[in-house]
Amino acid sequence: MRVRPIIRNGLYVITEHTHLDFSELVSISKQVLETGISLLQYRNKNADSNQRFREASVLLELCRQYDTPLIINDDVELALELQAEGVHLGSDDTQCKKARDRLGNDVLIGISCNNDFERVRLAVIEGADYVAIGAMFPTITKDETVKASPQLITQVKQNYDIPVIAIGGITSANCMPILKAGADLLAVISSVYLSANPTDTVKKFNNLIGS
C-alpha cells in the first residue's frame, strides 16, 4: 500500500503547453526536477485523453526518478489509471469527497479556492490535502481570473492547518509579500517554463522560499 506523499514547502511547478512543444517541456521539466521542486502538476487543457495519457506517463516516470509527486490537473480517472500521486481540482471539477472515494486515501487532492474562504472551509471539511489561493497577480495563463489578496492566505493559515499554495502571475520579484502572508508553496508556470534559465529561476525561488 502506498503512503500519501508529504507536501514540502517550496515550488509547485505547473506544465506550460501553449508556447512549448512537448519535447521542450520534458527537457525543462527535467532541469527543474534536478534543481529541486516540491510538486509538478501536469496541466494540458487542449489535449485529448490519449495525448494526456501519453504525456502524463512520460512526466510521471521522470518525476519518480527525482522522487517528486506528480499531480494531475482536473482528471481523476487519469490520475487513477496512472497511479499518480495526486489530482488538482478546480472550481467546476469533481468534488473533493467524490475524488477521495474514487482515488483512496494515499493520493493527494488539491482544491482551487480562488479568493473564496468558504470554499477553503468546505475543502478542509471534505479532506483536501492542500488549497490553492489566487490569482495573486495578473497572469497570461488564464483569460478569466479572480483577484485574491495575501490577507486571505493569512486568514486561512490562522484558521486551518492545511498547506496553502499561492498561484497566479507569481515571479521571484513579487513573491515575498505572499510568502510573508503565510503561503507554503508558490505555484508557477510561465515564470519557470518560459524563463531564459529555468534552473537559475528555480534556485532563486527556492532561496526566497527558504529565507
Give residue 147's domain range.
Answer: 10-210
- Give domain status of residue 176, yes or no: yes
- Give domain status of residue 4, yes or no: no
pTM of the full structure: 0.95
Q: Determine the Cα–Cα distance for residues 52 and 49; give it in Å rounded to an integer.
A: 5
Task: Say whether pLDDT at 3 is over 90.
Answer: no
Q: Known catalytic residues?
A: 43, 112, 142
Task: Say whether pLDDT at 102 is over 80.
Answer: yes
- Give domain status of residue 203, yes or no: yes
Our count of domains for the chain comes to 1
- Give domain status of residue 76, yes or no: yes
- What are the C-alpha distances in Å from 1 to residues 4, 60, 97, 106? 10, 18, 21, 8
- Give domain status of residue 3, yes or no: no
Nearest to residue 47, comparing CAs of 28, 85, 73, 13? 73
Q: Are 133 and 186 contacting, i.e. CB atoms less than 8 angstroms apart?
A: no
Question: What is the DSSP pairing of strand 164-167 with strand 130-133?
Answer: parallel
Q: What is the pLDDT of residue 146?
A: 79
- Give domain status of residue 187, yes or no: yes
Q: What is the CATH number of the domain that holds 152?
A: 3.20.20.70
Task: Say whether pLDDT at 76 is over 70.
Answer: yes
Task: Say whether pLDDT at 189 is over 80.
Answer: yes
- Give domain status of residue 22, yes or no: yes
Q: What is the pLDDT of residue 191?
A: 97
- Give domain status of residue 70, yes or no: yes
